[in-house]
Amino acid sequence: MKILFLCTGNACRSQMAEGWARAMAKPGAVIRSAGIEAHGLNPRAAQAMLEAGVDISTQTSKVINACDFDALDLVVTVCGHADEHCPVVPARIRKIHWPLLDPASAEGLTADIETVFRASRDDIRDRVQALLIEYDCLNPAAAERLIPKR
């Protein structure tokens, strides 16, 4: 399975999705993220993920280009702007959209902003887990370690 998570700036939501998918996917899955533009990795996104046991600090912000579609099975857009401005995806590639709110737009006290990032992180985790289950790509041992019991 080859998945690309696409966002406007590849700074936050798509980076978190890439991190979760890499952490929970079966070996051999190819997981990437990119943006319509490259805004750099958001440090709050990296911190929220680290708190959950996934280190995305070495991931880089990348711009999508036509050659990225050559070896993909699935494109997941994680914001409306990316969904609207995504290059045309070849018919053989499935494209789905997750209308995620941008935690980087949160305002207020530091604690409030961190709460928004954690909520976004957890929503993305749940969506990635469901996606990997749907595609029979979930590594149960890895998911067990990362998904809190409810």
Q: Single out the residue of 85, 73, 88 nearest to residue 131, CA to CA.
A: 73
Torsion angle of the four alpha carbons 39, 92, 124, 139, in this order, in degrees rounded to the nearest 10:
-120
Q: Give me the catalytic one of 7, 12, 67, 137.
A: 7
**In the annotation, is 86 catalytic?**
yes
Catalytic hit among 12, 67, 86, 137: 86
Active site residue 12: no
Query: What does the alpha-carbon distance between residue 77 and residue 79 come to, in Å, rounded to a whole number?
Result: 6
Active-site pick, 12, 67, 79, 137: 79
CA distance 78 to 95: 11
Q: Verify whether residue 79 is a known catalytic residue.
A: yes
Active-site positions?
A: 7, 79, 86
